Amino acid sequence: MTAPFLSLDAITRRFEPRLILGDRIAARLGARVENRPVRAVTEVSLEIAKGETLGLVGESGCGKSTLGRVVAGILPPTSGTVLIDGKPVIEHGRKVTTRVQTVFQDPYASLDPRMRIGDIVAEGPIAHGLASKADAPGYVRDWLSRVGLDPDFAGRYPHQFSGGQRQRVAIARALAMQPDLLVCDEPVASLDVSIQAQIINLFLELRRELGITCLFISHDLRVVRHVSDRVAIMYLGRIVEIGATEAIYRDPQHPYTRALLGSVPKLVLEDDELVRFETISGEIPSPLAPPPGCTFHPRCPVAVEACRREVPVLFDDSDGRMVACHVRAMERAAMTKEGSA
Amino acid sequence: MNAPLLEVEGLRTHFFTRAGVVKAVDGVSFALAPGEILGLVGESGSGKSVTGFSLLGLIDPPGRIVDGSVRLEGEELVGMPTRALRRLRGRRIAMVFQDPMMTLNPVLSIGTQMSLAIRAHDAVSDKAARERSAAVLARVGIPDARARLDAFPHEFSGGMRQRVAIAIAMAHSPAVIVADEPTTALDVSIQAQILFEMRELARESGTALVWISHDLATVSSLAERILVMYAGRIVEEGATATVLRDPRHPYTRGLLDSLPATAEPGRPLNQIPGTTPSLLALPPGCPFAPRCAHASGSCREDPPRRAAAGRAYRCHHPLERVA
The answer to whether B217 contacts A265, with C-beta atoms less than 8 Å apart, is: yes
Backbone angles phi, psi at A66, to 5 degrees: -60, -45
Phi first, then psi, for residue B260 (nearest 5°) are: -60, -30
Yes or no: say if B138 and B170 are a contact pair by the CB < 8 Å rule: no
The span from the CA of B229 to the CA of B210, in Å, is: 14
Residues B11 and B28: their CA atoms lie apart, in Å, by: 5
Judged by CB atoms within 8 Å, which residues 20-39 of A form the interface with B? Answer: none
pLDDT per residue as tens digits for the range A229-256? 999 999 999 999 999 999 999 999 999 9
For B10, other C-beta atoms within 10 Å of its C-beta total 11
Non-local CB neighbours of A167 within 8 Å, separated by 6+ positions: A103, A107, A187, A188, A191, A199
Choose among A165, A264, A271: nearest Cβ to B188.
A264
Spatial neighbors of A340 by CB under 8 A, at least 6 apart, are none
Q: Are B37 and B222 in contact (CB under 8 A)?
A: yes
Cα A316 → chain centroid: 22
CA distance B156 to B163: 10
Range A91-96 average pLDDT = 82
Nearest Cα neighbor of A144 from A162, A117, A163 is: A117
Could you tell me how many CB contacts below 8 A there are between chain A and chain B?
137
How close A222 gets to chain B, by Cα (Å)? 6
**What span, in angstroms and rounded, lies between the C-alpha atoms of A231 and B22?**
44
Q: What angle do CA B62, B63, B69 make, to 5 degrees?
A: 150
| Amino acid at residue number B138 | A
Q: Cis check for the bond before B62: say yes or no (omega within 30 of 0).
A: yes
Question: The sheet that has A6-15: what strands, in order across it?
Answer: A38-48, A6-15, A79-84, A87-88
What's the distance, CA A69 to chain centroid? 8
Contact residues on chain A for B220, CB-CB shorter than 8 A = 265-269
pLDDT at residue B135 in the model: 92
Pairing of the two strands A90-91 and B93-96: unpaired
3-state secondary structure of A41: strand
Q: Do B258 and A264 touch (CB under 8 A)?
A: no
Task: Identify the pLDDT of residue B140.
Answer: 84
Confidence of residue B31 (pLDDT cuts 50, 70, 90): very high
CB A260 to CB B189 under 8 A?
yes
First to last CA, chain B: 28
- Nearest partner of A11 among A35, A52, A49, A39, judged by Cα: A39
Give the pLDDT score at A274: 65
Query: Which of 187-216 (A) contact B at CB < 8 A?
Result: 192-198, 200-201, 204-205
- Greater confidence (B231 vs A18) lies with B231
Residue at A139: amino acid letter: Y
What is the longest distance spanned by two Cα atoms in chain A? 73
pLDDT at B322 over 80: no
A194/B263 touch (CB, cutoff 8 Å), yes or no: no
φ and ψ at residue A230, rounded to 5 degrees: -125, 160
Extents of the domains making up chain B: 6-263
Residues 6+ apart with CB under 8 A from B63: B13, B14, B15, B16, B24, B50
Q: Check pLDDT > 80 for residue A31.
A: no
Residue B290 CB neighbour total at 10 angstroms:
14
Q: Is A277–B195 a contact, with Cβ atoms under 8 angstroms apart?
A: yes
From CA B147, how far away is CA B16, in angstroms rounded? Answer: 47
Q: What is the distance in angstroms between the Cα of A79 and the nearest Cα belonging to chain B?
A: 29
Using alpha carbons, list the distances in angstroms from residue A317 to A187, A249, B172: 31, 15, 53
Higher pLDDT, A59 or A323: A323
**B241–A269 CB contact, under 8 Å:** yes
Closest CA of chain B from A148, distance in Å:
11
Residue in A113, A212, A87 with CA at minimum distance from that of residue A166: A113
Q: Is the pLDDT of residue A186 over 80?
A: yes
Distance from CA of A272 to the nearest CA of B (A): 8
Contacts of A270 in chain B (CB under 8 A): 241
Specify which residues B32 forms β-bridges with: B6
Q: What is the pLDDT of residue B209?
A: 95
Choice between B204 and A214, residue whose per-residue pLDDT is larger: A214
Decide if B293 touches A, using CB distance below 8 A: no
pLDDT at A2: 55
Across the interface, which of A197, A266, A270 has its CB nearest the CB of B271?
A197
Mean per-residue pLDDT of chain B:
90
Q: Grade residue B11 by pLDDT with cuts at 50, 70 and 90.
A: very high
The alpha-helical segments, DSSP class H, found in A176-315 are 193-210, 221-227, 245-250, 255-263, 305-309
Q: Which of A194, A277, A284 sits opposite B271 (nearest CB)?
A: A194
Mean pLDDT, rounded, for A181-206: 90
Average pLDDT, integer, range A312-327: 92
Out of A31-35, A178-182, B314-318, pick the least confident.
A31-35
Distances (CA, A) of B17 to B60, B67, B124, B304: 12, 18, 44, 29
Nearest to B192 among A164, A279, A283 (CB): A279
Q: How far is A266 from chain B (nearest CA, A)?
A: 5
pLDDT at B323 > cutoff 90: no
Reply yes or no on whether the pLDDT at B92 is more than 90.
yes
pLDDT number for residue B194: 85
Q: Please give, rounded to a whole number of angstroms, the shortest distance from the CA of B128 to a CA of chain A.
A: 29
Q: Return the pLDDT at A145.
A: 92
Q: Is the ipTM of this complex over 0.85?
A: no
Are B268 and A201 an interchain contact pair (Cβ–Cβ within 8 Å)? yes
Chain B residues with CB inside 8 Å of A285's CB?
Answer: none
Residue of A186, A268, A280 best to disrupt the B interface, most CBs of B under 10 A: A268
Task: Assess contact for B292 and B249: CB atoms under 8 A.
Answer: no
Query: In CATH, which superfamily holds the domain spanning B6-263?
Result: P-loop containing nucleotide triphosphate hydrolases (3.40.50.300)
Q: How far is B262 from chain A (nearest CA, A)?
A: 9
CA closest to A192 among chain B residues = B43
Per-window interface: A 143-162 vs B, CB < 8 A: 162
Q: Which residues from chain A sit within 8 angstroms of residue B275, using beta carbons?
A: 162, 164-165, 195
Asked if A288 is an interface residue toward chain B (Cβ–Cβ < 8 A), one would say no
Residue B161, pLDDT above cutoff 70: yes
Portion 197-256 of B in contact with A at CB < 8 A: 214-218, 220-222, 239-242, 244-245, 254-256
**Closest chain B CA to residue A249:** B265
Sequence-distant (6+) residues with CB within 8 A of A82 are: A6, A7, A8, A9, A11, A70, A71, A73, A88, A89, A90
A264 touches chain B (CB under 8 A): yes
* Chain A residues near residue B257 by CB distance under 8 angstroms: 197
Q: Per the CB < 8 Å rule, is A279 touching B193?
A: yes
Give chain B's largest Cα–Cα span.
67
Among A193, A207, A278, the strongest candidate for a mutation testing the B interface, having the largest count of B CBs within 10 A, is A193
Angle at B221 between CA B215 and CA B226, to 5 degrees: 65
* Torsions phi, psi for A45 (to 5 deg): -120, 130
How many Cβ atoms from other residues are within 10 Å of residue A163's Cβ?
19
User: Residues 140 to 159 of B: which have CB under 8 A from any A CB?
Assistant: 157-159
Nearest CA in chain A to B243: A269
Helix (H) or strand (E) holding A169: helix A163-175
- Burial degree of A115 (CB within 10 A; 0-12, 13-18, 19+): middle
Distance between A227 CA and the closest CA of chain B, angstroms: 5
Amino acid identity of residue B53, one-letter, is F
Which CATH topology does A6-99+179-255 take?
A: Rossmann fold (3.40.50)
In chain A, the residue whose alpha carbon lies closest to the alpha carbon of B270 is A197
Q: CA dist A308 to A254, A300, A301, A334, B279, Å?
A: 16, 11, 13, 21, 56
CB contact under 8 A, A194 and B195: no
Which residue from B221, B272, B273 is facing A265, i.e. has the nearest CB?
A: B221
